[in-house]
């Protein structure tokens, strides 16, 4: 009995000692770090898969500001990671540690990219930890008042219209390529115009048309610089035709329906797969509380940015449904988007530097300085409308440059004026 009592006493002492240790440590690390408590003293990186400026950056900074407020003790840091039509940013989010400290925003164009198995993708949208989405944002085809078409019918020619896009794989790029194919547009895609850069190019007459979200186009149209040719998805708009009501062919209707189906999935926020349930729950709660804030909605309203939120599992189900397309639609999208990507083109840029032999130049594309090596045989150069050699180029010339992204950023064509 003594041994038995002694064993019981030992167990009692051990248990009480363990309880004392847990109390002393604040009920243990696991309990102390559960849910919202985990974020006290932590830094959360909120990745925006675009350059600063534009719709995604606006929503990302607005959401992260208020999520920080609703996760007391946390610090949210916005990190812009543009490139690859949002693929670089989405890859970064997906492959981050599943500790709840990296989340971010990217565009719905990646649904198309995943459906067709686009090269460079290292994510599976169906597996991501979905936190919520901030808006319902129909797509629109917007023309510049300065030199752009006055109707959708004009896009079929005879003029070749210049469309802007941030990059291959972005929503604007994918939607433009699909719509142009099924509607028979005559167009040239000009890459590298991100955020407000496209609108500035429209005002200068460099770009004629852009396919974008209604929220991004709204203020530009309201200020009299752009006109809406059609809207895809969302509610009816006075004086603007719904694309589904004016297209006739089977393929055109399929693409219009696919684009319209994603109007409800705008400006979403997600993290990598398998974020612990308590931390994901805290993020979702903070996200919802943020979008319920009157001040957040007032800021969005002043910027003409809609707030039509949805949360957690609802968004996850919508994303999975968007990925689950019929085989014939997937085949059509793959056929359209499998075309060779165009070179990047910048219009009206100034030559900043040039080596004496003319082999290397630098110029601005948006906010980025591009260092480019000119080929003596492959690069086609015109100066003041006449064929020229690279040695004829001079610093300060204004040029239209089409170039291939890579180590050398080699120009394909250069048309310069002295």
Question: Domain boundaries in the chain?
Answer: 36-136+264-336, 139-262, 344-417
Topology given in CATH for the domain delimited by 139-262: D-Maltodextrin-Binding Protein; domain 2 (3.40.190)
pLDDT of 25 strictly over 70 = no
What pLDDT digit, counting tens, does each position of 65-111 carry?
999 999 999 999 999 998 877 899 999 999 999 999 999 999 887 88
**Contact between residue 234 and residue 138 where contact means Cβ atoms under 8 Å apart:** yes
Sheet (strand 139-144) strand order: 187-191, 161-165, 209-213, 139-144, 226-232
pTM beyond 0.75, yes or no: no
Alpha carbon 411 to its chain centroid, in Å, reads: 26
Collapsing DSSP to helix, strand or coil, 199 comes out as: helix
Better-predicted residue by pLDDT, 193 or 211: 211
Confidence of residue 53 (pLDDT cuts 50, 70, 90): confident
What pLDDT digit, counting tens, does each position of 198-241 carry?
898 899 998 999 999 898 898 899 999 999 999 999 888 999 99
Topology given in CATH for the domain delimited by 36-136+264-336: D-Maltodextrin-Binding Protein; domain 2 (3.40.190)
* DSSP, res 418: -
Cα–Cα distances in Å, from 408 out to 56, 141, 363, 405?
30, 34, 13, 7
Collapsing DSSP to helix, strand or coil, 172 comes out as: helix
Alpha carbon 315 to its chain centroid, in Å, reads: 17
Better-predicted residue by pLDDT, 280 or 337: 280
Q: Which helix or strand (DSSP H or E) is residue 236 part of?
A: none
pLDDT of 3 strictly over 50 = no
pLDDT of 28 strictly over 80 = no
- Per-residue pLDDT, 341: 62
The CATH code for residues 344-417 is 2.40.50.320
Instruction: Identify any residues that bridge with 132 across adjacent strands, giving them in sequence order.
Output: 269, 311
- Per-residue pLDDT, 232: 94
Confidence of residue 334 (pLDDT cuts 50, 70, 90): confident
Computed on alpha carbons and rounded to an integer, the radius of gyration of the chain in Å comes to: 26
The domains spanning 36-136+264-336 and 344-417 adopt the same CATH topology: no
Alpha carbon 151 to its chain centroid, in Å, reads: 28
**Contact between residue 254 and residue 329 where contact means Cβ atoms under 8 Å apart:** yes
pLDDT of 37 strictly over 90 = yes
Q: Which has the minimum average pLDDT: 14-18, 255-259, 265-269?
A: 14-18
Q: Which helix or strand (DSSP H or E) is residue 280 part of?
A: helix 277-291
């Amino acid at each position: 009995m003594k041994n038995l009592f002694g064993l019981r006493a030992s167990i009692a002492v051990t248990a009480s000692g363990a309880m004392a240790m847990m109390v002393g440590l604040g009920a243990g690390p696991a309990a102390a770090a559960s849910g919202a408590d985990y974020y006290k003293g932590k830094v959360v990186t909120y990745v925006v898969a675009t350059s600063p400026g534009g719709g995604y950056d606006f929503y990302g900074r607005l959401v992260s500001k208020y999520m920080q407020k609703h996760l007391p003790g946390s610090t949210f840091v916005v990190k812009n990671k543009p490139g690859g039509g949002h693929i670089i940013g989405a890859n970064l989010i997906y492959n981050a540690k599943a500790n709840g400290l990296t989340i971010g925003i990217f565009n719905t164009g990646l649904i198309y990219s995943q459906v067709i198995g686009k090269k460079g993708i290292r994510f599976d949208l169906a597996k991501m930890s979905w936190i919520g989405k901030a808006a319902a944002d129909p797509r629109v085809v917007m023309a510049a008042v300065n030199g752009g078409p006055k109707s959708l019918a004009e896009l079929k020619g005879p003029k070749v219209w210049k469309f802007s896009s941030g990059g291959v794989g972005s929503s604007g790029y994918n939607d433009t390529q699909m719509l142009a194919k099924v509607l028979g547009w005559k167009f040239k895609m000009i890459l590298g115009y991100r955020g407000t850069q496209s609108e500035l190019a429209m005002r200068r007459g460099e770009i004629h048309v852009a396919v974008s979200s209604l929220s991004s186009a709204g203020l530009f149209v309201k200020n009299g610089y752009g006109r809406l040719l059609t809207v895809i998805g969302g509610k009816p708009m006075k004086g603007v035709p719904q694309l589904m009501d004016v297209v006739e062919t089977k393929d055109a209707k399929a693409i219009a329906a696919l684009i319209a189906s994603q109007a409800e999935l705008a400006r979403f926020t997600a993290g990598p797969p398998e974020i612990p349930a308590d931390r994901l729950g805290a993020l979702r709660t903070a996200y919802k509380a943020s979008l319920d804030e009157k001040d957040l909605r007032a800021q969005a309203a002043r910027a003409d940015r809609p707030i039509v939120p949805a949360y957690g599992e609802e968004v996850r189900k919508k994303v999975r449904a968007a990925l689950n397309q019929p085989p014939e639609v997937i085949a059509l999208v793959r056929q359209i988007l499998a075309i060779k990507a165009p070179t990047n083109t910048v219009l009206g840029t100034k030559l900043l530097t040039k080596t004496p032999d003319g082999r290397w130049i630098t110029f601005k594309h948006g906010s980025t300085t591009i260092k480019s090596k000119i080929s003596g045989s492959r690069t086609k150069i015109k100066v003041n409308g006449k064929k020229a050699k690279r040695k004829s180029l001079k610093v300060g010339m204004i040029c239209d440059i089409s170039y291939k992204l890579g180590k050398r950023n080699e120009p394909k064509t250069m048309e310069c004026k002295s």
